[in-house]
Structure 1
Amino acid sequence: MSLLILFIVSLTLLLSADSNEYNFRLESQIQSPAAPVKVLANLDGLSQISSDEFLSERFFTELHVANIDSNFLEGSLSGMYNSAQYFVFDDIIVAEGDTAHFQEGSKFLFGSGVSFNVYGTLKAIGTESDSIIFDRYGDERWHGFSFENVSDETMLKYVRISGSQKEFGGGIYLKDSSPTLSHVQISDNIAELFDGGGLFLNGSSPKLEHLVIANNSANNGGGIYMQSSDPTLTDVKIIDNTANYGGGLSLSNSNPILESCQILSNDAENGGGVYLEFSSPSMIDVNVLDNIADYYGGGMYLEFSNPFLNQVEVRGSTAGYGGGGMFLDGSNPSMTNIIIIANESSSGGGMYLEFSNPTLMHVDVLDNIADYGGGISLNSSLPELISVSISDNKANDDGGGIFLFSSDPVLTNVTIANNSANDDGGGLYLRLSNPTLINSIIFGNSLENISLFSEEDPLISYSNIQRGWEGVGNIDEDPIFIEPLSGDYSLDINSPCIDAGTADLNEDGIEDITGYSGSAPDMGAHEYFQSMDYAVGDVTMNGVIDILDVVRLVAIIMGSYSFSQDELLLADLNDDMIVDILDIVMLVQIIIF
């Protein structure tokens, strides 16, 4: 006859209103082993009871708590894992050739020092309303993910990864792997000794889209660190991360593509937002805002790197020593359609260039502050500035607009206006430097527009220099800007700078500038558009934007149509000074929509 033992104890009911979990202390009754059992040990030393029964032989593998399946996982994983709460206290692995599927709504809680290693295929696919969570259990941190040689079918979607810590790749370490990460949040992870607080890419080129990388820390790359990797990042937000180098993002020998990304409020000793080393990424439509560097490169630090930057804004960043917005060391980036605004540093509030020869085209440098070189500071550098506006910057000492030391830049169609310096060179301060200025405007700077340290001899021609400067084609007249008090340094229709420049920059009889309106290029950064009767895109100038404009634009690109300067300006829809397939795409969109 079976023996029935009744053991009744008092219980305390703890109700969690958020999770609807009912927790008890040493609860309920123990019956004979042949019957279903209702007692289980909780992980915090208490016990739990469920409204559901479970068999005693499944005690350590499947637990039902508040109608949510809870499972202990260890060892090798494969197959489908239903929506549940899982506890992981030993390393788990997806082996080469295996595939593991995690359903939406699952939550994985890892014990101290536990790793999740993937060598096969992992598909953790949640939904916007029911994500998948990987986090620590209790106060101790787990060791995060490691992906090595995983299949390209590996995907994490609508996933959150938090609470991990290891030597490198705090949240995720990728080696020779190119999975897809979409709608993933990687937050509150630590690389305790080396690189990649949130994410470390080693020889990997994953597709990263709609990510949030926040509150991670490391030595290099508090948010993301890349080594020999070329991923694509789209709509990635890198926020509030910290490191010694590259608070948000750090690259070494890597050439990723970043589109529509934001790098915000990160902190580092060097490269508060971004640190590049021997890397040439493409950054398109990227905001680098409110980052901090203790020493150099508040927004970005470039070391022997040649990135392509287009439609990038660097704003509100600070550096203790040099390059509040950007610090360049031995780097030659291509920068087009850039705004560098409201940054601050001891030297080079907007930019500091050292042994660097970048090309800046259609760049605005404004409202930056430094002791030397409020807008830009140059040291032993030969940059080329084309259609650049440097305005409303301030130097506490010298060089409100630009401070030049041992540098000979070429400035073509540059406006340097309304900058100030407390000592010398409100517009330009030259020390052992002989720049070349063509088709430019230097006006309204204080205390002086151009200040020479000793016997510097800049070559200035076809430019409007307040208080005059000797040179061919130079004038000294009010440029008549549209609205300088609000930062609009475009030329008014009555400006003497219109058609006052030259297209033959080297005086060889051949025009070097072709994309101008009127009889000659204008002085200053902003060409006055004289075809005001026609909308951009009306290449045929018939008052209608239609398929005929597409035909004309194709003919211009193919070289089968001899176009005027006005037609060229109307054809340059994206205003990048190049008429190409991108302008066709924009024109077609205008016609369709």
Structure 2
Amino acid sequence: MQKYRLWVVMLCWVLGITAAAQTFIEAGDVSGSWTKHGSPYIINGAITIPSGSELIIEPGVMISFAGHYKFVVMGKLSAIGNETDSIIFTVNDPKQGWHGLRFLNTVTAEQDTSRLQFCRIEFGRVFGDCPDNRGGAIYAELARLNINNCLIRYNRAVSGAADWGGGAIYCEKTNAVITDNLITMNYSGHDGGGIYCSFSNPKIIRNTITNNQAAYRGGGIAAFSFSSPVIQNNIINKNTAADHGGGINISGGNPLVQHNYIEENQAGAGGGGISCYLSNARIINNQIVSNTAGSGGALDFRGSSPSVFANTVCNNQATGNGGGISNSFEMVGVPVYSNPVLTSNIIFYNAGGQGSQIWSASGCEPFVSYCAIEDMNGEGISGGMNDSGANTDQSPMFISLGENPWALSSNSPCVDAGPAELSGTFWPACDLGGCVRVWDGNGDQLAVIDIGAWEFGSQSLGTEEANPAKKGVFSCIPCPNPAGESISFLINTPQPGEIYIVITLTDGRIFLKTSAYVSEEDHRQIISLSRLPTGVYIYEVYYMGHRLSGRLVHL
């Protein structure tokens, strides 16, 4: 009986701790500190950090919204987690969602910069009239805001009227700093599946922006209303837009788009990689490959004359004209023609209707120099072109192997084949991999820039500009190995997707074949080996066409 009473006391003590380890927050103003000890914080109404106040959220805190409520910040929010203990903004009911973080007028109220660092922000869902229908996870208007090292996923800007969207983030008159984040699986019913910019010049640097969707323009990023963001060192891939700009849509403004991997994006109308409308953007040193669209598989310019320098534009496809680049005019009272300056670009292996590499409408004449263009004297180019000289149609001879298959091989005709004189231009200091941009690659004692986004044989520059986003890796570690009754496969993938695990006997017979959906960067798949005789086996793990394999020892 005494032992039974002791267990009852211990159970009550444990239940008391469990009950105490959560905090209920009712509607109204909030400030002070939210601690890990008080987590999770259950939000039971719309909350606001008033002007002049600050809320500090400690690493490891979970904030869960019990309903569709806003978190308005008019003062300062410091939600700073760390690599091993992030801060989570989520909701009890993912289908209903919550109304996101709303940073309002902190510039005009002279508030300090709010910071979101090592946070996970998910299941925001916004709709209604402007601005309530903007920014599924984050809406910032006249705000000071830094967003760093966050995972922003499964957020939606669902419906509304006027200018709206931003499945994950919407910046209105806000020059936010958005760096080193994973922005994935967000949706906009209008523009900007990942990020929407309006009258804003944010710095969007070293992010992975992937698998976002826009029902209209800008699957990854949409820049409107004279916005000129810096879009640099990002991985922008697998985003879709039903209209223009699968990866990036630019309308007005003159952004800098530099050192990005822009790959496998899709647009229904134009610009699978980038679409420009009435913009003179600078598009420099990007790898724009394997994108698809109706016109301009990689780049679609409408009434735009951007500077397009040192890009690798390959393997893109258009169902209409301009497999690589499409140039057309826009009527704005008078026709505005697209006359981009194309210098030192590789434009190869693209496919489309007329102009497999470059198509230009009547009146549009791109200025082309020091470019490698497939079939440039045949079907590769359709329409006008101002040939400024030093162009070639020789194969660029990529290495076609490893992590950077679009880098140049030692015998590429693009090595040291760019312009010798670079003064007064927009040339970057480094190539796409962060190496010195002008290098003597052919050993003739004269350093000349290479054509395309990669510099052959160069050395790392080691500056902030040369700090590209790391391309995600696919890895698998079986442990323990040798294994007993079960084995865990620790799997890392660049983005969410389906994996397949196959275990075969030494004679080739399949013992096990299973699949799983990996939604996190790190995934643990546990497999029972109890029915497997002791011995040596082969494991294979498949992910998006890639395969890893090795030996598995069962004791």
Q: TM-score, normalised by structure 2?
A: 0.67
After superposition, residues 54-93 of structure 1 pair within 5 angstroms as 66-67=12-13, 85=19
Q: What is the one-letter code of the residue matched to 2:391? A: S
8 Å Cα contact 1:417/1:445 also seen in 2: no
Q: Secondary structure at the match of 2:174?
A: coil
Measured at CA, do residues 320 and 479 of structure 1 come closer, stay the same or move farther in structure 2, by a change above 3 Å?
Answer: closer
Q: Does 1:263 align with 2:186?
A: no
Larger Rg: 1
User: CA–CA distance in 2 between the matches of 1:225 and 1:196?
Assistant: 13
1:295 is aligned to 216
8 Å Cα contact 1:493/1:528 also seen in 2: no
2:354 is aligned to 424
Q: Does 1:223 align with 2:223?
A: no
Q: Does 1:376 align with 2:322?
A: no
8 Å Cα contact 1:336/1:361 also seen in 2: yes
State the shift of 1:65 in Å: 9.6
Match of 1:208 among 116, 134, 138: 116
8 Å Cα contact 2:407/2:456 also seen in 1: no
Q: How large is the RMSD of aligned CA atoms in angstroms?
A: 3.5
8 Å Cα contact 1:124/1:157 also seen in 2: no
User: CA–CA distance in 2 between the matches of 1:367 and 1:147?
Assistant: 45
Measured at CA, do residues 310 and 198 of structure 1 come closer, stay the same or move farther in structure 2, by a change above 3 Å?
Answer: same
User: CA–CA distance in 2 between the matches of 1:240 and 1:528?
Assistant: 38
Match of 1:367 among 286, 290, 295: 290
Match of 1:492 among 400, 404, 409: 409
State the shift of 1:158 in Å: 2.2
Deviations 1:329-381 (A, max 9, x none): 11221122101111111211111110112212220111111111111100011
Match of 2:34 among 112, 124, 148: 124
Q: Does 1:350 align with 2:273?
A: yes
Higher relative contact order (CA 8 A, sep 6+): 2
Identical-residue share of aligned pairs (%): 23
Deviations 1:560-592 (A, max 9, x none): xxxxxxxxxxxx3459589xxxxxxxxxxxxxx
2:156 is aligned to 242
1:115 is aligned to 27
Match of 1:411 among 342, 347, 371: 342
Q: Does 1:187 align with 2:74?
A: no
After superposition, residues 507-518 of structure 1 pair within 5 angstroms as 515-517=438-440, 518=445
Q: Secondary structure at the match of 1:493?
A: coil
Q: Secondary structure at the match of 1:352?
A: strand
State the shift of 1:208 in Å: 1.2
State the shift of 1:216 in Å: 1.2
Q: Secondary structure at the match of 1:67?
A: helix
Q: Does 1:197 align with 2:95?
A: no
Deviations 1:418-447 (A, max 9, x none): 0001x2111000113111122111026899
Q: Does 1:461 align with 2:371?
A: no
User: CA–CA distance in 2 between the matches of 1:575 and 1:411?
Assistant: 26
1:33 is aligned to none
8 Å Cα contact 1:418/1:445 also seen in 2: no
After superposition, residues 572-583 of structure 1 pair within 5 angstroms as 572-574=461-463, 576=465
Q: Does 1:439 align with 2:370?
A: yes
Q: What is the one-letter code of the residue matched to 1:250? A: Y
User: CA–CA distance in 1 between the matches of 2:378 and 2:98?
Assistant: 47
Q: What is the one-letter code of the residue matched to 1:280? A: N
8 Å Cα contact 1:479/1:495 also seen in 2: yes
User: CA–CA distance in 2 between the matches of 1:523 and 1:132?
Assistant: 54
Measured at CA, do residues 502 and 412 of structure 1 come closer, stay the same or move farther in structure 2, by a change above 3 Å?
Answer: same
8 Å Cα contact 1:404/1:430 also seen in 2: yes
User: CA–CA distance in 2 between the matches of 1:504 and 1:526?
Assistant: 18
State the shift of 1:69 in Å: 8.1
Aligned residues: 415
State the shift of 1:395 in Å: 0.5
Deviates more, 1:489-498 or 1:272-281: 489-498
Q: Does 1:483 align with 2:390?
A: no
Query: Which consecutive unaligned segments of at least 5 residues does structure 2 have?
Result: 1-6, 107-112, 127-132, 159-164, 329-336, 430-436, 468-555
